[in-house]
Each structure stands twice: as C-alpha cells, then as structure tokens.
Chain A
C-alpha cells in the first residue's frame, strides 16, 4: 500500500502509477456530479457545447452536499459520498470525453467503468460512506456552482480541497477492481460459512 498526495490537474502518467489498495489524497479542484449532471454533461458533449468547467485532470465526486450560504458565500456543511452504481451507465463516456482522472464515491462501480479507466487512465477512489464531516473539513472553499437548476444535490459544485481523503483506490487504471475481487471471495466464503453452520445450499 502506497499513500499518494496528488495535486490537480493530474496527468495520465501520474494516475497510472496507482494500484488498487493504495490510498490517495487530493489537493486542488474536485467537482460533484450525480445522475442528472452526468446526463446533462454528456448531452452537452454530443451537441458540441462546452461544459461550464473544464474537468480535464480533475476528480469527479458522487455527492449531493449539504450547503449553506453565509454572507453571500456558499459553505459545504456535510459532503459524504453517495452510491456510485447509479452513475455506472454514464461514467465510461464521461471519463473518455472529459478526461477526469479520479472518480470518487462509495460502493464501487462495474465493468464498463473499470474498462474505461484502464483505457483512458483514471481511478476510482472510495470515500468512507457517512464520513460527511471529514469530507467537509477538507473542502477549503466553494469555488463555484453550476446547473443549480437541477437542485442543490444534483448541481455541479466546484470545491477547492486540501488533502481530500483518504480515498481507497478500489479500481485502478490496469483493470483491477477491488469490489469485484471482494465479491469473488465472498462467494467462496459463503461456502465455508454454510459448511461451518451445517447448512444445505
């Protein structure tokens, strides 16, 4: 296990050094996007429109933050990750078109995303589910927000972060997926459990 501290924008070469089980902390810019924002971003790309933020080398964060406005300025109060599987249907295109280098969320993602990460050079960083204060404290500044018409949780929040993490590298850019590995060993373990408890499958 190696601990990496990377600054955005992250290059393909840098991200390819990471392997599953490594730990990553990010300093720089991360942008939130959930289902709706993913969909709209891909529509923009198809129509040849530019996104309001250039995502190249940045991290996209599956998160609907709790934010409040203090003296006309947005502050992130709680910003834990949401379940990533809902974004699986968009993420391969998203990585390909916008060259994001890190996808942050919880629960892991599937084969399509894993393949795209290997092909274009990106990793999935699992952020601890529920650890909302830990995330919020690493957000030093809300640099901006776009697409607020989608609602606060679904908008693109542009966060300036310092040592945002720990992110467990659960999918690397070499085709490894920790969640798939765990699922496989759970299948094996199920047999052992049934045996131990004397159960018939």
Chain B
C-alpha cells in the first residue's frame, strides 16, 4: 500500500496558487526528502497532506484514506516549522511530549504512569531526559525542537511529517537525529516525509527526493537531484553543494566528543 498518493494537487491560499498540479506517490516504509526555495509551497504541501489546508482540486490519500480520516486514525506524527508558543506557557517538556498521545487517548481519559514512562523514554532517546520538568517555553530553540520531535514520535505514527526538523539542532544532534529516523524506518517500517534545506545532508539518508517550486520539478533518486540542471531550474540560478557520503568523516569525528 502507498503511504501517500497525491494526484493533480492544486492548493490555493488567499487567491494565490501555492501548489500547482503536483503528482507524487510515496510507498509505505520509504523516506522522502522535499527541497525547494523559500516560499515555494513545501509547508503548504505538508499541510495539505495532513488536511489542515484544503486542496482546490486534485486529491490526497494517506494509506488509502482522506487526510481527515487519517488524522482520526492517528496516522500522523507532525513536526511543524513554527510553533509560536507564547512565553510563559504553562507546560513542562514532559507535558508537551505527552500531548502527542492526547488524540489517541480520546476524551475523558488522562495519561497514566505507563504513558509517562513512554514519554520519559522518548525524551531519553532525544537526549533530553534531564529537561523533563523544565518549562517548555523557556528552553532554547534546539531543545524545543528535540522535545517536539519526541512529541511527534510518541504515538507510534505510521507517517512522520517533518517540516525542517533540523532547525536549531547542533551538528552532532543532526546526525544522531537522521540516524534515529533511519532506524525507525528500518525497524518499524515508518514512512517519513521531511522538508529540509540541507540537500547535501539529506541525500545521505533519504530514499527519494522531491524538488518543488510550486510544482514538482524532480522526484526520484536523491543523487539525481544533485544534477546541476535540476537544481538550476529549481532555484533559478547556479547552486553549489556540499555532499555528505555515507561515512562523513566530519560527523563521525563530532559524534563522540
């Protein structure tokens, strides 16, 4: 079964065509990277997939369901690009991670000890176990991002949607994070869609890449996207890239420091 099938998708926001006629399919268990210039519609595409933006025409199906049905079936783990949390918001990191379970728990049911244990494990995996009781809104950008990733993963989603997840995360953390995604993909067959500006880094980890600028410019093998012509068309000018290979000496060096 396909994790996501997007057919002739056009999304209009405020009278402006933000996404035009995109066709894209992601097989279950695959890791898709999405790249493209600022304002080209990446976030809008993700929001259309989860159903928080409504398409003008075309369709999106997620595991054979409409986005709204998929939401009700708790298919998604979502990490938005901006969270805009107010200063002094009353929630500890632990509470934020637990929020990831609220939809599944349903009305009138509260997290139990077991759920809290799970939240603690997630924080631990993301290297944030020491901050469980810290007020979320007072943490640094990168710490918030790690905790939000824990929140997106806690409900065992079938499809993880990440909008620039590495924003604010340090270099060591980024490699660890991509590695974690890879592990989840291999172990539990998680399907992943990730928007990132770091084309070089994601080519190392993703199975497929989609280059988007309002419409789809390229979809396929990540290394195909490194083709100068594809990138020039996408960004409208010459782009120089730093690529990572599977054994990036830089990352390995940093990892154990």
Tell me if chain B binds chain A. Answer: no
Q: Which residues of A contact B (CB under 8 A)?
A: none
